[in-house]
Chains A and B, each alone.
Chain A
Amino acid sequence: EPEVTQTPSHQVTQMGQEVILRCVPISNHLYFYWYRQILGQKVEFLVSFYNNEISEKSEIFDDQFSVERPDGSNFTLKIRSTKLEDSAMYFCASRLGGNTEAFFGQGTRLTVV
């Protein structure tokens, strides 16, 4: 069964460092998303990506964040200068479109120290 894969599963980084979280969405899907979930809190929308550009972003997705689909299969989230409060589970999701199911990856646990 096709699935969304995320790497790494856990990343520890020092405050101020850049991190890149990687995702491989399901191959025929057209819409891609990043969400984050701070421990014990709700799943928060960060950004959506369609047709090789950002479709919508939340207020969390500030200038420190960027996304890229560099090669038609990977979908990356970059945080330029990490802060302690960026520590969270980051989930990538993809969907074919419309009201179809969103498939989520297993997540990357980012710990900023």
Chain B
Amino acid sequence: TQLLEQSPQFLSIQEGENLTVYCNSSSVFSSLQWYRQEPGEGPVLLVTVVTGGEVKKLKRLTFQFGDARKDSSLHITAAQTGDTGLYLCAGGVLTGANNLFFGTGTRLTVIP
């Protein structure tokens, strides 16, 4: 089982601030996906990155895949209260059934 560590585990910031969440592993992944999970619901995909060094932007969210495809970051600009939630990274492995292995999660709270 590949291990993905996310940091920080908990993050509480004021509305309008910027933040970065990190996802690190010693394993190489074929893809890295970021999900957001609301309480009592399943994870919902935000983005998939597949190329080392790739950067993707989704409105105020910027995702980067590390050059060695072992790590990733999620940067949120001018956080809003609607960004509050659990953010999960998940590494994809292109063997067998292409399993996804989830990170430890970052619980973000944006305070108005």
Contact = CB atoms under 8 A, between A and B. Distances in A.
Contacts, number: 75
Interface residues of B, number: 28
Contacts of B31: 99
B98 A101 contact: no
B42 A105 contact: yes
B1 A107 contact: no
A102 interface: yes
> Interface residues of A: mostly helix, strand, loop or mixed?
strand
Interface in A53-82: 55-56, 58-59
Nearest to B31: A99
Given A42-B102, A45-B1, A101 B48 contact: yes
Interface residues of A, number: 30
Closest A-B pairs by Cβ, 10 of them: A104-B42, A55-B97, A48-B97, A43-B102, A99-B31, A50-B97, A55-B96, A56-B96, A31-B97, A101-B45
